[in-house]
Structure 1
Amino acid sequence: MLEIGVRSLPLVVTVGIFTGAVSAWQAAYQFQGILPLSYVGPATSKVIFIELGPVLTALVLAGRVGASIAAELGSMKVTEQIDALETLAIDPIRFLAMPRIVAATTMMPILVIFADFIALFGAFLVINMLLHVSAETFFNGVKSYFQV
């Protein structure tokens, strides 16, 4: 879980901040002259929480962790460590792959939630600093998105 979760955080944070910033900037650009900027909060929240947060976090996790696991298992195969496990009557898939699958399955929702809120923070930075929309206006819009 350390490799899949904690060591993926810097990349997830970077992708999250830029995702939120770009989605807020694009929403504000598209709303220009049509809707007030108070609608950027709900629109950005919807885009981040439903679409971009989970998809981009999954892509980052698949790319970073997938390459790491493939390299590690490939190195174990070349150095005949997997053959040694089979000699000891230990199923290599159950012993090597299952913990990684369980760790990825456990950490993915946690990283998605973390990335969603980081992206929301990135959206707030753009809306507040560049477009001068108050924090109250932005977060009231975000809150209205979450209310039924």
Structure 2
Amino acid sequence: MLGRTYDGQNCSVARALEVVGERWSLLIIRNAVFAGSTRFTQFQRQLRVAPNILSNRLARFVEAGLMRTRPVAGDSDLHEYVLTPQGLDLQPVIVALAEWGDRWAAPQGPPVIFVHDDCGGTVHSYLNCERCHAEPNPPEVTTRPGPGANKASGKPARR
């Protein structure tokens, strides 16, 4: 069983999983991004998550900088959870995960289609080469050491 942290790995995927790698985490982010959920009761009602788990996840998101709290207008005792730019940057992750689920885990077809508000077109996630603008298939994508790789070994981070 994996521990909560991946201290021995120099890997951005492992670091991201420390923040959003638990099952409820991406569902909470999904509802914040696409359903506009901001209040504890909204998340709890929509997701049917135990209050202690939800409280823990929201606190961790605030601590990690994915969300911030602000008082609810007109009620100084209540606060809501608002995504920060860092939290909003998870939107493509949700879209990519949903597309994988649509292909491999949705026998009746996609339950949700992501749509661009401005033009009504369907939104997709895809790989794109910044140099030639190709959309490579998975076997055509490899890794090499980046600026954050372990300088002593010269090896790419374990994936």
TM-score by shorter chain over 0.5: no
Q: When the two structures are superposed, what TM-score results if normalisation uses the length of structure 1?
A: 0.30
Q: Which structure is higher in RCO with an 8 Å CA cutoff and minimum separation 6? A: 1
Greater share of residues in strand: 2
Q: Which has the larger radius of gyration?
A: 1
Q: When the two structures are superposed, what TM-score results if normalisation uses the length of structure 2?
A: 0.28
Greater share of residues in helix: 1
